Amino acid sequence: MASHRRPKQPSRARVTVLTTAAAAAVAISSQAANAAPSEKPSKDEVKAKVDKLYEEAEHATEEYNGAKEKQGKLQKEISTIQDNVARGQEDLNELRDSMGLAAAAQYRTGSIDSSVQLFLSSDPDDYLDKASTLDQLSAQQVESLKKVQEKQRELAQQRAEAAEKLKDLSSTRAELGKKKQQVQAKLAEAQKLLNTLTAAEKAALAAAEERASRSSAERVDLGNTAPASGRAMAAFQAAQSKIGSPYVYGASGPSSFDCSGLTSWAFAQAGVSIPRTSQAQASAGTRIYSQSQLKVGDLVLFYGDLHHIGFYAGNGQILHAPRTGTVVRYESINNMPFQFGVRI
């Protein structure tokens, strides 16, 4: 006779797990069914986002340029101080050697005068404070001792100054690395967006960019606007010779440029030294707030934070290095928010 056993009931824990899993599956299915299908951004939407990222990258680029310029300046200052310290140490050694020779000579004769005792003292300042000792020193001996002390103080001050600048240099290098990472991150994000486009969409964007980037042989109508000055015109002509050169962040010529790299390089060709960054160049000359008063060769600043700069070319046109993915070219001054011009 067959035995009838009661089926084994699942444990409470197993029931709970199964119930939870089933509920989760139902919820996920419901969400998937109700969620609107994700739409791929259009070519124009991608371009707008990429342009915004490029603008942010250019802003970071100018900060990078500022940190790089500061680094170079600090390195030169530190090098000068270190050279001065080295020469000062040689002078101090010579003074000590000459006094040491005098001490040796007096020792051989059996007497060391007060000036040499002063030199050998562990506390020369205290010794010099003693009027009786000063009375015993000749004017020449006093002068020699003062030179030693002055040189010691000078070297201590220079070494302290060098130490401070080295600390500043270290923090500047850290800032430089941070800004470089910011630029690279923005450019990488922009490239990632561009990679979502089809081959046809990429070709369409490239064609539009090609139309905007006029070759050096094709000149826009610049009108007959007078140059700001002979040197400003020379700088503008130097920039004209670089039409078609690619934009590269942090570059200042001669084969690639960022916006302020082009303007600083061009003025250097005209024999004029101006600061490296757009923000600093904004204060390098007389500001002109009316577009109607601009002349060829004037610098033109854009955006509220002044992170973009170019040359006024005449007839409402500028000559500049726009952004990543473009080349040095002419463009309408109205394509960006104009702030003011600067006449060097």
Domains delineated in the chain: 43-195 (1.10.287), 224-343 (3.90.1720.10)
- pLDDT tens series, the chain, 344 aa: 444 555 555 554 444 444 444 444 444 444 544 444 457 788 888 888 988 888 888 888 999 998 888 898 889 888 888 888 888 888 778 777 776 655 555 555 555 555 555 555 556 666 555 544 445 555 666 676 777 778 788 888 888 888 888 888 888 888 888 888 988 898 898 889 888 888 888 888 888 877 776 544 455 677 778 899 999 999 999 999 999 999 999 999 999 999 999 999 999 999 999 999 999 999 999 999 999 999 999 999 999 999 999 999 999 999 999 999 899 999 999 999 999 999 99
Specify whether the CB–CB gap between 314 and 224 falls below 8 A.
Answer: yes
Tell me, yes or no, if 4 is annotated catalytic.
no
**Among 260, 272, 261, 288, CA closest to 234:** 272
**Among 33, 238, 68, CA closest to 169:** 68
Q: Rounded to 5 degrees, what are φ and ψ at 123? A: -135, 75
What is the token pair recorded at 239?
A: 């920039």
Tell me, yes or no, if 259 is annotated catalytic.
yes
Q: What is the DSSP string of 242-260?
A: TTTPBB-TT-BSSS-B-HH
Question: Measured between alpha carbons, how far is 126 from 153 in angstroms, rounded to an integer?
Answer: 15
Of the listed 4, 59, 307, 308, which one is catalytic? 308
**Among 276, 299, 245, CA closest to 71:** 276
Q: How far is CA 3 from CA 6, 336, in A?
A: 10, 91
Tell me, yes or no, if 308 is annotated catalytic.
yes
What is the token pair recorded at 343?
A: 């006449």
Whether the pTM exceeds 0.95: the reply is no
